[in-house]
A and B are shown apart, each in its own frame.
Chain A
Amino acid sequence: MTTLEAVSRTATGPRIGESAPRPDGVPKVTGSFAFSSDLHHDRMLWGGTLRSPHAAARIRGIDVGPALALAGVHAVLTHEDVPGSPTYGLIHRDQPVLASDVVRYEGEPVVVVAADHPDMVRRALAAIEVDWEPTEPLVDPELAADAAPIHPDGNVIRRVHLRHGDQTAADRQDLVSVEGTYEVGMQDQAFLGPESGLAVPDGDGGIDLYVATQWLHEDRDQVAACLGLPDDKVRLTLAGVGGAFGAREDLSLHVHLCLLALRTGRPVKMSYGREESFHGHVHRHPARMHYRHLATTEGDLVRVEARLLLDGGAYASSSSAVISNATCFAVGPYRVPSVEVEGVVVRTDNPPCGAMRGFGAVQTCFAHEAQMDRLAVTLGMDPVDLRLRNALEPGDRLPTGQVITGTLPVAEVLRACAGHPSAAVGPDDPMARPGGAGRTADVDDVVRGEAVAVGFKNLMFSEGFDDSSSARCVLHRGVATITCACAEVGQGFVTLVHQIVGEVLGVDEVVLAPVATTSIGSAGSTSASRQTWMSGGAVQMACESVRRELLARVAATHDVPVHDLVLVDGRIFSLPGGGSGDDYLPIDLSLDEVTAEAVEADVVHRHAPTLPLDADGQGDAHVSFSVSAHRAIVDVDPDLGLVKVVELTTAQDVGRVLHPLQVLGQLEGGAAQGLGLAVMEEVQVTDGRIRNASFTDYLIPTALDMPPVEIAALIEQPEPGAPFGAKGIGEPPAISSTAAVAGALRDATGLDLPRVPVRPDDICLASGSALDEAD
């Protein structure tokens, strides 16, 4: 016997491709899992933040005296108490830790307080006297570029001008043209676990911060700079993360907590309430987008022109990367020989915007899919056929000039989704109709619509970013300890680690070391659908390195050729006749025996390098891509403008399914966020002020709003260079779902509906609505 099959597999531990149990599952269902807001220290104080009530104002003076005089108040700190860099930021450090002379958005932090009890914190915040001089806020992004700068860095955060192919195609008269202007409202990530953390001073000038975040090491760098401390004095440990979706990529209370703890010499805990959370993190960029599509009468896309304007709000955050993504993926997963896109993201006095699941591709998908549906109508073509005719394939060029060298099954996801049988039933049950428990919709008035949409985006960071993840594997007495700073935010990376260790080493006893900046180098951000590839890949590399060293060790100690040895299910066997004859005794060793002395590997995993975009937006800026399609079926009551999404069907390009249940969870959860943006979710901002900073007024889908999500297909085409061939899967479900629901609403109502979220008024008060026609 010379093959691996000769050795029987006996172990049943988690392997790649299985729905392994979550290692944090039992503590999460019993309530013992410690999220960042659950942290407690016997000597701790509570922290709180005074925020600007104005979207724009000068600060003429701050009197903290009355607050400091209150019993139980231990510290009241302003910008004067920030010892290091006065500003921070993810890409551009343009945001004050605490505002000094001006504020640029409602909710900007101005003063922080530490006291014995949350009620004392509230009283102290109320006692602080700030002499405000309100100024006229700059709230219209259309005016920002030409307005007086509201920040020393100017009002244009980034402009990307992409030109691809023959630009004279713009003047061709033989083409069919459709134009439209589209808008996307400001969406909130609405993770359930509020921003929170605990800072503990070490008594020696250093600080330990326990916090929920997506990117521990980046936070550490920014916090240390603001505290004016060397990196080794600032130690961050990941606390339990109650969801993220992009909103934890920026700092929130991190520096404030450390300032208060260092000043008081006491541990300080801070936990935002929901209203404060809406002011305390960045949102998805609102967008205004103008498109013109030119196609032949047969339906071949010839040229797409787009102007994209994103409102970045008061500070830059990751806006410059978001506008790049929006621009690069502006035309969707279609082959377009001539493209011109101008993408601009500007600074205003609106709430700051940054990362959210889909990262720029959500906004443009809504627009390019609306355009494709319009083009299909103009050409008299089936909308799915039009998409299939123009679908990108491997070997094609993107508008950035980059050739797709990996997998990209655009046609496959479209066909699977469009061809999947629907299980949707009629709106017979009043509870299932638009309006639901309100029982407002008469069944005879309800109209049904259906549409398919497709969207794609990049996986991992782009434009030449040196992206890496570090991992360590120590195998000792048969137990594997994995250290990696990847932030588990709910996605199930901790499960995947067990699967990878099981797959590579056959070890089922796996310990995950605490995730901390002191234990290992950066894993990069839990964002951009990158951790399965980057940190999963790092863990795989570390385990494979341990495996090689282990087999070499056994080969040396037993004088056996290394290629005769196999490691299967936690044992090392020799394969008799493995090429070297049978001149040694058969080997059958447990890992427990051979790792009495630990075997260890430390690795850094990088993906293939990318390049910056040039002045025309051209360049091999991206690593890999993933595509998804959704079909939505909706019921609408045109009289009241009420909507019920009846069914969502999806197909997605996943590379390889590593964990069937977790894949399902990502696809369903992402679709829910996409549905939310389509029909209910918007941070409503008037004159720079958020009007609905609560879950009473900012609605996210409930179990009654979400329809069943049918999985038409998971397209498994292994991605070259990706660990196990798997693509990141988190973001695509949030991209094409919004566009599909909006398309279905257009199909049902006959209205243009150029803006999401689609509000009842947009339907029932629209001119040319079904109601008008009925009259």
Chain B
Amino acid sequence: MTTSEDFSLVVNGSHRSVVDALPGESLLFVLRERLGLIGSKNACEEGECGSCTVRLDGETVCSCLVLAAAAADREVVTIEGLASEEAVLSDVQQAFLDAGAVQCGFCTPGLLMAVDALLDTDDEPDELTVREAISGNLCRCTGYGRILDAVDRAASARRTQVTL
């Protein structure tokens, strides 16, 4: 079987080379199986559940729908890169724990990426805005109640931080 030309990805600020990948491999597959970044999840692999959400040049995308080779030399941020190097947890991650928004945890990384992206553009979203922003992220455990509470907490924390 032929492999694609070797390429490199910029993942969470680091250059990572991808060797001997098959041409059809998704960004999700390469992150998980070749780079050992298991945080992006594989719940549907058809762009419906949001569990594989990463930032690609700042935009949230389903990494299962992005060809890995097409992401060559672009900035990829995964859940592993969400917290700054000094902090163990980002504001959104801490809020999810404090609010009880994590049960099985399979949807959690994708939701954290989606919420982080929302708060980057709007740190005081109303409830309907939040619901719409995370409506592409399926969660089967929580019924979303604690997740909405976590977004409130994270938004509040981010506003405080900005004020400081």
Contact = CB atoms under 8 A, between A and B. Distances in A.
Interface residues of B, number: 60
26 contacts: A22-B102, A29-B79, A29-B97, A29-B112, A31-B79, A38-B32, A40-B33, A119-B24, A191-B104, A192-B43, A192-B51, A243-B140, A437-B132, A489-B104, A665-B103, A668-B144, A669-B141, A671-B143, A672-B140, A672-B144, A694-B48, A695-B43, A695-B46, A695-B138, A700-B140, A706-B145
A609 B134 CA distance: 47
A230 to B, nearest CB: 33
B130 to A, nearest CB: 7
Range, interface on chain A:
35 or more
Given A22-B97, A71-B1, A192-B107, A32 B140 contact: no
Interface in B33-49: 33, 36-46, 48-49
Contacts of B97: 21-22, 25-26, 29
A644 to B, nearest CB: 12
B5 to A, nearest CB: 17
A708 B145 contact: yes
A40 B32 CA distance: 10
A726 B102 CA distance: 22
B131 to A, nearest CB: 4
Given A35-B105, A274-B49, 4 more contacts: A29-B108, A40-B33, A489-B104, A490-B105
B1 A193 contact: no
Interface of B is mostly: loop
Given A26-B97, A243-B140, A706-B144, A192 B46 contact: no
Interface string A5-46: 000000000000001011011101111111101101000000
Nearest to A490: B104
Nearest to A661: B100
Nearest to A118: B29
A31 B80 contact: yes
Contacts of B38: 31-32, 34-35, 38, 40
A506 B63 CA distance: 46
Interface of B: 1, 22, 24, 29, 32-33, 36-46, 48-49, 51, 78-80, 82-83, 88-89, 93, 96-97, 99-100, 102-109, 112, 128, 130-132, 134-148
A760 interface: no
Nearest to A33: B105
Given A31-B79, A31-B109, A665 B146 contact: yes
Interface of A: 19, 21-22, 24-26, 28-35, 37-38, 40, 71-72, 117-120, 189-194, 240-245, 271, 273-274, 429, 431-432, 437, 489-492, 661-662, 664-665, 668-673, 694-696, 700-704, 706, 708-709
A120 B1 CA distance: 9
A35 B79 contact: no
B46 A694 contact: yes
A35 B106 contact: yes
B1 A30 contact: no
Contacts of B79: 29-31
A193 B104 contact: yes
A189 B43 CA distance: 13
B145 A709 contact: yes
Nearest to A672: B143
Contacts of B96: 29
A681 to B, nearest CB: 11
